[in-house]
Chains A and B, each alone.
Chain A
Amino acid sequence: MANPKVAFFKFSSCAGCLLSVLNIEPVLLDVLGVIDIEYFIMAKRDNHEGPYTIGFIEGAVTTPKEALELKKIREECAILVAFGNCACTGGVPSIKNWSGMTQEQLTKTVYAENINDPMLTSIPAKGIDFYVKTDAYLRGCAVDVGEMVELIKRALKGENPLFRPHSVCNECKLKENVCLLVSEGKPCMGSVSAAGCGALCPSLNRQCEGCRGPANDCNAASLAKTFMEDLGLSKDDVVRKFRKYAGNTPEFSKGAEAAL
């Protein structure tokens, strides 16, 4: 039986998630034994058109052209995966969505007053599921490649991967890390952010920034209140925290709104 065909695509993003695909050395050859990578501009010269079994999309959609391309890709992929935080929620590019400026003002501020290039047609940054049906999400900035391998395995078996969307605190406590928020007073977002990263940042004594987006049914408004009332963060700092990686999500919106 032929291996399933897999494609990697990139929209508005830093390419870090795609780069991390190449970092799975211990299992890379095993993975390549069960899938054929048909399209991966960053990693290979010889790329082929669809249809594909699995399409991984990195990046947010920030132009009408990207939105059209995405819809075409959707038609070519049996399983479409939002690959990394930008594709899941709009990610870091979505910070611009709250600049308060019109898109025309933004263009003129970022580029030049008199510029009139039809290429520059920025629209609010969104995750891919704003435009197309999305079958699975690999969260994180960057993605956890272990989860990517897990998703490939589950897809090959025809299963829903059912990643458990619980909090970073869960994985952090199991490592018996000293709690950065409770013990050290740092504004760690682990309690409302989705795990799967193995509590990577808190384990290195860095507070969680919420790059994997909200945990299931989390209570960002309560954490925003703790940040302001107990840790003394300013309103602006709290808003920026909740809009850094997943401001488009309803859960983190509530965190930002609680501060406003």
Chain B
Amino acid sequence: MSEKKDNIFRRLYYGVLKENPTVVLCLGLCPTLAVTTSAKNGLAMGIFTSVVLILSNLFISLLRKLIPQTERILGFVVIIGTFTTLSQLFLQAYFPDINEALGIFIPLTAVNTVIYDRAEKYAVSHNAALSIFDGIGMGIGYTLIITILGAIREILAMGTVFGYRLIPAGYSISIAALAPGGFIILACIIAIANKINGGRRL
């Protein structure tokens, strides 16, 4: 794809719909499945990952001429690790309860495949403005799916969404809150997206 044809709206469209990181590219499944036991956790993780993604996309794009081609993974590790640590400190200072709820998956953002994929396939070969919008588009797409997944799991497992009760207590499918429930519900979401897209992806 040449840089002339590409623009910020195209980046947003690709990130949210056409190349949605979770349902089309199937990346970053580890945190997606682990933290989505409630819609609130999903939303928080989505926003956290998006912030790290946008910042690291910006810096990788700015430094793309300085990072040697052969050692680029090491460059990505340092940049993404730094922003994860910074964002984690911010979270610890202002939202300690969210930091507590997400636990080990906050530092694991430093190895989130969505961020690596965007760094490798996009930020390292495009200019800063486009890379920021790529990060924003991908971030919105990621947050959207992770929140939907969290909401579905929360309804099934606890009968609530963002804490509001929809189904009376006592009617719940407890496996939805465990890992197998996450795997199956995510599989259904991806299958629905495949059906809507009409064709097989990946």
| Co-assembled chains A and B | no
Q: Could you tell me which A residues sit within 8 Å of B by CB distance?
A: none
Q: Could you tell me which B residues sit within 8 Å of A by CB distance?
A: none
